[in-house]
Structures are given as C-alpha cells and as structure tokens.
Amino acid sequence: MLNYIARRIGIGLLMLVALSVLVFVLLRLAPGDAIDAYINPAAPLSMDELAALRARLGLDQPLPVQYFGWLRAAISGDFGFSIQRAGVPVLPLVLERIGPTVLLMGTGMLLAIVLGIAAGIVSAVRRNSATDVALSVASSIGISSPAFLTALLGLYFFSVQLRWAPSGGMLTPGAPFSVSDLLSHLILPAFLLSIGHAALIMRYMRSSLLEVLNQDYVRTARAKGVREFWVIIKHATRNALLPVVTLIGSTIGIAVGGAIFLESVFNWPGMGLLLVNAVNTRDYPVIMCATLIVGACVIAVNLLTDITYAAVDPRIQVA
C-alpha cells in the first residue's frame, strides 16, 4: 500500500508539472501581450520604458527560460505578486479562498452523495413503479442541465421570486457572524451544485444495485429469513457502492467547474470567483497559482478514492 501511494504521488507530481506547462503556454498564446496586464491604460509608456519593464519582469527571455524561472520560484513557495493587487503575494491570496470553496463543494458533494445513494436505492427496490419512473425522469433532467443554467434558474426562482434564500455572498454584510447566517447563504448554492451529481450517482447506484440484487448470495440471505431491510442495506448496498465510489472520485474535477459558475453567480468568495476575476483582468500569477492548487486537490481526491476501494470491497487489492 505504501509503495502504491508513493507511486501515485509521484505520478500526481508529474501531472501537476504537465498542467503548469499547459496553462503557462496557453496564457502566453492568449490574444494580446503579457506586458499589457502590467500597464495602466491611462498612463502609456514609451518604447524604452516598455523594454525596461519587459526586461525587469523577464518577459524578454525565451519561453522555456521564463517557465523554468517561474517553476524554480514556485517550488520554493514564491508565486510572485498579484498584478491587480499591487504588492499582495499570490499564495496567501489564493489560500484564503480555499476555505469557502471547500465549504461549498464539500456541502454540495455531501448532499449529492446522500441524495443520490438514497434515491438510487429507492428506485432499484421499487423498480418499474411510479416512484422509479419519477426518479428516473428527475435524474435525466438533472444530468442534462448545465451548471450555469441550474445556477441562474435557482437564483431566479428561490432567491428573486420565492425569497427563500439570500441572492449572493457568504455572509450578510455588516451583520455579526453566525452559523445560521452562513447556512442561509450556503444551502442554495450547495443544493444547486449537488443536483447534477446526485442525479448521476442515483443512476449508477440504481443500475449497480439491480445487478447485485440478482446475485446468489442475496437470494441465499433471503432464503435464510433475513429481513428485507437488512438484505438491501447490509448485503446488497455495500457491494453495489464500488462503481459509485469510482464515480464520486472522478466527478470532483467536474464539481470544480460547477463551483466556478456558482461562485460567480452567487458572488461566493472562493477560488472560483477569484479565478474568474483573474482571467478577466489577466492576472497571470493568480491564474497559475490557483490552477495548480485546484489540480493538486483533484489529484489528492482521486488518490483517496483509489484507497477507499479496498475499504469498500476487501476483494480489491491495490497494486
């Protein structure tokens, strides 16, 4: 197990390097000049001043030299300073946004897992019933709805029309901090984030559980007189969870994309909103740092998912 974890960590580090190269090159290939982000349009610079600024920032060097210079500094924890927030180090700026994003994504994924597994069990147990049909239709709608559409419709109906939840932010401006205030701002974006993932988990759980319910050991448990509730929960559900665990781990990256839309729509002060603002203002140091941290989190979650396989099904041996 330790060798497996070490090998996966090594592969993850190589993936992070590849991600950094890709993002670095794409930013340089974006329309316009990288130096434009450092220039105040109201105070244009002369050609000599532009050349001096380019040399000071290292932008006159070949692209590989620029990348390895950035990588050397990043390994030591120096991601530079934000362009739009003069004098503000990038790393603390990004790290302070991780908490709100983890809170939003964690709550959303927790809701998705609970709702998806529960709905999948009910749908499989009541196969071909009206409940099964209703849940299948709801899951199809949830899977087909893109994150930005779900966010906008949810904001319009639940905040603007029904006024059940605040329309944005993480806390009420000017009000003292309280858990109830935080939850009132959190519940709507977290629920909207969970919809698509819950629908997908429900479909996988239903399909997997239907397959398990036809296995010999389930029929044997019923023949021994085990109550149907325990047959479903103890014998069938645990063995049906393996593909669901795989799905949950693989959808974390998709959840990051959904969180970016939701944070933008609900003005949630997380990494998604920071990344969108950085892209709009061409704040390259912030983009690079935020992208790497998000990538590292996704890789870590996938590693934890692989390790969870053995806990869910002891027959699985990591190699």
With tokens 């002369």, the residue in question is 46
111 confidence band (pLDDT: 50, 70, 90): very high
Query: 3-state secondary structure string, the chain?
Result: CHHHHHHHHHHHHHHHHHHHHHHHHHHHHCCCCHHHHHCCCCCCCCHHHHHHHHHHHCCCCCHHHHHHHHHHHHHCCCCCECCCCCCCEHHHHHHCCHHHHHHHHHHHHHHHHHHHHHHHHHHHHCCCCHHHHHHHHHHHHHHHCCHHHHHHHHHHHHHHHCCCCCCCCCCCCCCCCCHHHHHHHHHHHHHHHHHHHHHHHHHHHHHHHHHHHCCHHHHHHHHCCCCHHHHHHHHHHHHHCHHHHHHHHHCHHHHHHHHHHHHHHHCCCCHHHHHHHHHHHCCHHHHHHHHHHHHHHHHHHHHHHHHHHHHHCCCCCCC
User: How high does pLDDT run on average in the chain?
Assistant: 83
With tokens 């209703």, the residue in question is 134
Q: Is the pLDDT of residue 134 over 90?
A: yes
Q: Give residue-wise pLDDT tens across range 74-88.
A: 888 888 888 878 778
Whole-number pLDDT of residue 311: 59
Q: Is the pLDDT of residue 95 over 60?
A: yes
More confident residue, 94 or 1: 94
114 confidence band (pLDDT: 50, 70, 90): very high
Q: In degrees, to the nearest 5, what angle opens at C-alpha 281 toward C-alphas 275 and 285?
A: 60
Break the chain into its structural domains and give their ranges: 2-89, 98-269
Q: Is the pLDDT of residue 34 over 70?
A: no
**CA Rg, the chain, in Å?**
24
148 confidence band (pLDDT: 50, 70, 90): confident
Whole-number pLDDT of residue 118: 92
Q: Is the pLDDT of residue 317 over 60?
A: no
Measure the CA–CA gap between 150 and 156, rounded to whole angstroms. Answer: 10
Q: Is the pLDDT of residue 319 over 80?
A: no
Q: Is the pLDDT of residue 318 over 60?
A: no
Q: Is the pLDDT of residue 4 over 80?
A: no
Instruction: Return the CATH architecture of domain 98-269.
Output: Orthogonal Bundle (1.10)
Whole-number pLDDT of residue 130: 92
Q: Which of 35-44, 51-60, 178-187 has the lowest mean pLDDT?
A: 35-44
Quick one: tokens of 180?
Answer: 């109830």
% of the chain exceeding 90 in pLDDT? 10
Q: Give residue-wise pLDDT tens across range 234-246.
A: 778 878 887 887 7
The residue type at 235: H
Q: Give residue-wise pLDDT tens across range 257-290.
A: 777 788 888 888 888 888 888 888 888 888 888 8
Q: Is the pLDDT of residue 115 over 90?
A: yes
Whole-number pLDDT of residue 263: 86
CB within 8 Å of 39: residues ≥ 6 apart: 45, 50, 53
